Amino acid sequence: MISKFKRGLTPAEAALIAMGLNRFDSLLEATNTLKRDEQLFMDAKAEIASPYNDGYYSISPDVVEDYYTDCENLEEAIQIKDALLDEVCIAIDWHDHISGEVELYGNGFDAQPNNETCLEVYQIIRRAPDGEYSFYPIPTQTTITKISLAKWFEANLPDKAKLFDPSESYKTAKTGYTKELLAKQVAPIQQAPPTAINDNKSITALNKEIKQLWDEIELLKQNSFTTMTSKLQTMLVAQNKYWTNYDENKLCPQQEISNFIAEELKLNITANGTNRIADELAKAIQPDEIKRK
């Protein structure tokens, strides 16, 4: 049975829930179970339809009807799963483009995705780093946020939307990846207040450097260089959080800063508890006079 407490769902799990088949753990289990009982229910159906029946049924007519309803629902669940998979692939492309994680497996060409979707990635599952397609996303295992699922069902099967968001907040929420929505989310980076960094001139210099980078990106938006926007914003937040008025004798662990950046950018953490992109960004915001052993 699929847990109702999960924050994210795979396309198959969402399809099973939508069609009332969430007592099964997977579409494969549902298919095998219904296929296994097919002959049994065919015989029961014939028994019910027989004019010679004396009113005794080996299986209740209601149970037989439920079985065939499940079969119809399973067929629709498979169609829903396939449709969601297409959307998930688009959502993954946007997520990796914005976060920069496409660098893990891309060929150096990172164009902005053309298609848009209301689905929003909750957690991307990737292939092992030592395989032929290292770090490539696995759409079938990638999970989607419930509220964005509700948004998708609202547009396609409205009576199913509330199953994923009983509060109905999806009706006013903005989810997914669209060029218009992402443009609204990009706000100019504000420099940290001078009063907060009076004792650290290096922080002021770093703020200025990031502001210069931001200005350059603003000029290059026409060439789809908005990928760095979320990184720059997170770098500034992390810089002010960890390096404003820092104590040289009690420096924050580099890994803690890296983990903070990874969490803010929703980057996947490896089994070793690290992320290469986050590690590099954490090093970039460290004041020059700090020397780590």
pLDDT one-digit tens code per residue, 88-102? 999 998 888 888 776
When the pLDDT of each residue in the chain is averaged and rounded to a whole number, the result is 81
Q: Is 0.75 topped by the overall pTM?
A: no
Q: Which residue is listed with tokens 């789809």?
A: 224
Residue 11 pLDDT grade (very low, low, confident, very high; cuts 50, 70, 90): very high
pLDDT one-digit tens code per residue, 134-162? 788 899 999 999 999 999 999 999 999 99
CA distances from 184 to 83, 181, 188, 268 (A): 28, 5, 11, 25
Q: Give residue 233's pLDDT.
A: 76
Contacts of 115 (CB under 8 A, 6+ apart): 90, 93
Q: Indicate if the pLDDT at residue 212 is higher than 70.
A: no
Taking the C-alpha atoms of residue 261 and residue 258, their distance in angstroms, rounded to an integer, is: 5
CA dihedral 276→277→279→282, nearest 10 degrees, is 180
Burial class (CB in 10 A: 0-12, 13-18, 19+), 175: buried
Q: How many CB atoms lie within 10 A of CB 265?
A: 20
pLDDT one-digit tens code per residue, 263-282? 888 888 777 778 888 888 88
Q: Give residue 107's pLDDT.
A: 58
CA dihedral 184→174→104→81, nearest 10 degrees, is -150
DSSP line for 122-186: EE--B--TTSTTTT-B-TTT-EEEHHHHHHHHHHH-GGGGGGT-TT-GGGT---SB-HHHHHHH-
Q: How much of the chain exceeds pLDDT 70, in percent?
A: 78
**Long-range contacts, stretch 246-254, CB < 8 angstroms, 24+ apart:** 246/200, 246/287, 248/290, 251/290, 251/292, 254/279, 254/282, 254/283, 254/286, 254/292
